[in-house]
Structure 1
Amino acid sequence: MKNILVGPRVALNVPQPEDFDEISDWYADADFVRKMDTAPARPLSGEDLERTYRNLDQNTEFYFHIHSLADERLLGFVTLFNIEWNNQVGQLAIAIGNAEDRGQGYGTESLNLMLNYGFNELNLYKVCLDVIATNQSAIAVYQNSGFEFEGTNARAVKRDGHRYDLYHMGLFAEDFQPRISLK
């Protein structure tokens, strides 16, 4: 049987305690946090992050760490959360931690692995996400993976005294076409 959580260059793995200290370093980078989330940027300790992971609702949240197959380096994380089983809909979030690892295709591969998992293992009908309008690189990855714009929460995000739109995007299972070779 094939491992549906492994792609050509990355694997989606169970989080390990030692990973959270490294992720904590990413949260010290305001640019990372401000592109990923609409919440105020703030540093989080590895202990804080691990506690959050331990308190996930195991029935509606599926959280993985992204590791490079070449050197087992931690690259980021990806999660399906707020799953409504009765509607077969879930939300997705993904982040690649270090700036030098972004734009290398790790996010696209990880996203496609998680979508394959969501649609073919969890039997989701639709996956949704929110993205800040200024995060053009993420928007390009989402569009390349088949997500379509579904709505705009106009001027919902305030950054440095300016207002930016928050886009809602979605992808239906029937429209998912993997952009990577799934093993």
Structure 2
Amino acid sequence: MEKLETKRLLLRPLTIDDSGRIEELAGDYDVAKSTLNIPHPYPKGSAIQFIESIFNAEKNNKILMFAITEKELQLLIGLININLSSPYNRGELAYWVGKQYWGKDYGTEATKKVMEYGFNHLNLNKIFAASFTSNPGSWRIMEKVGLKYEGTLKQHVARFGQFYDLAYYGLLKEEFKTETQNKSTNNK
């Protein structure tokens, strides 16, 4: 898997050495509660198992996961992935960023780059994402990167003993290409 670069970030493959940092950042309750799958409390040592499961899923073309790292400090600040559905040629985005990095547009920057990669290099027909409706930070990222609101599934998931609505956003490759062409035309 290749590395992706933005103005401030390097998106690179995970390594086992990332396990401690993942546990540190994902262990924050506010980060865990904004996701479907991060356990809380985060079990000590379990990030190694998580990373190994990602390696296995990547080998089977089920997922493409990147460590989001600040270029300057080369410090992991979060994770972003596309869950791949080959039969339908689509991918589902998922991401989280450590709490101390919230509000700095790192999530938006990483998501834009991964979407470009998904459409231009993986040749996906559709990229979509879901967010708790109670997590505006996540669905605002989706809107900023051009994903279109597709609908809300009421009380679709349960997390920490409470049901949550999920808002779904998506974008087709043809829409992405049109928007990219329009932006490049407007910037000339």
The structure-2 alpha-carbon separation of the partners of 1:33 and 1:46, relative to structure 1 and needing over 3 Å to count, comes to same
Summarize deviations over 1:26-83 as a string: whole Å, max 9, x none. Answer: 23222211102267644142322222223214223111101111111111111111x2
C-alpha distance in 2 between matches for 1:120 and 1:141: 20
C-alpha distance in 2 between matches for 1:5 and 1:56: 20
Letter in 1 for 2:117: Y
Which residues of structure 1 form unaligned runs of 5+? 179-183
- Alignment correspondent of 2:153: 153
Matches within 5 A, 1:71-90: 71-81=73-83, 83-90=84-91
* 2:129–2:142 contact (8 Å) kept in structure 1: no
Matches within 5 A, 1:1-183: 5-37=4-36, 41-44=40-43, 45-58=46-59, 59-81=61-83, 83-97=84-98, 99-158=99-158, 162-176=162-176, 177=179
Structure 1, 23-32 or 64-73: larger mean CA deviation = 23-32
- Normalised to the residue count of structure 1, the TM-score between the two structures is 0.85
C-alpha distance in 1 between matches for 2:67 and 2:87: 27
* 2:152–2:165 contact (8 Å) kept in structure 1: yes
C-alpha distance in 1 between matches for 2:16 and 2:106: 22
- Alignment correspondent of 1:181: none
Give the aligned length.
176
RMSD: 2.4
C-alpha distance in 2 between matches for 1:17 and 1:46: 8
* 1:146–1:175 contact (8 Å) kept in structure 2: no
- Normalised to the residue count of structure 2, the TM-score between the two structures is 0.83
Q: Which structure is richer in relative contact order (CA contacts within 8 A, separation 6 or more)?
A: 1
Which residues of structure 2 form unaligned runs of 5+? 181-188
The structure-2 alpha-carbon separation of the partners of 1:164 and 1:88, relative to structure 1 and needing over 3 Å to count, comes to same
> Identity rate of aligned residues, in percent?
27
Deviation at 1:167, TM superposition (A): 1.3
C-alpha distance in 2 between matches for 1:77 and 1:37: 14
* 1:38–1:157 contact (8 Å) kept in structure 2: no
